[in-house]
């Protein structure tokens, strides 16, 4: 029973490039959440998606960041024109329903040169 799968585990980009982070939820889970974690800080909510719908994007920066969860395939968090401040660990979580506990992947560590 595979858990939440995130890839890549590590991603290095130069300033101005695009970063694409992928998340495959646990089997049977249709709710996906993205969080950002900086060193010594807690998890900061970014966006909550259900298949083909964005439910809550209140934690997402208004520019350069977007997320999708298509009918088929993984959820994608996309960061355009990356800047040094985007360097962080990005975690994806999934749940079977919105009111159930979330289960996390091991994250993607994004480094911006």
Is residue 104 at the binding interface for another protein, with CB under 8 A as the rule?
yes
Is residue 39 at the binding interface for another protein, with CB under 8 A as the rule?
no
Residue 2 is classified by DSSP as: -
Is residue 48 at the binding interface for another protein, with CB under 8 A as the rule?
yes
Residue 1: Cβ within 10 Å count: 5
Is residue 20 at the binding interface for another protein, with CB under 8 A as the rule?
no
> Is the Cβ of residue 35 or residue 69 nearer to another protein in the bound state?
35
Q: Residue numbers of the site for another protein (CB under 8 A)?
A: 4, 6, 33, 35, 40-43, 45, 48, 55-56, 91, 98-99, 101-107
């Amino acid at each position: 029973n595979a858990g939440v799968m995130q890839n890549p585990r590590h991603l290095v980009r130069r300033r101005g490039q695009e970063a694409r982070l992928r998340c495959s939820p646990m089997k049977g889970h249709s709710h996906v959440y993205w969080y950002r974690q900086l060193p010594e800080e807690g998890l900061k909510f970014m966006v909550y998606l259900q298949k083909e719908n964005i439910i809550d994007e209140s934690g997402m920066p208004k520019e350069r960041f977007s997320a999708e969860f298509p009918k088929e395939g993984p959820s994608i968090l996309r960061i355009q024109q990356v800047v040094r401040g985007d360097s962080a660990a990005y975690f994806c979580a999934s749940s079977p329903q919105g009111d159930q506990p979330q289960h996390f992947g091991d994250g993607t560590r994004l480094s911006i040169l």
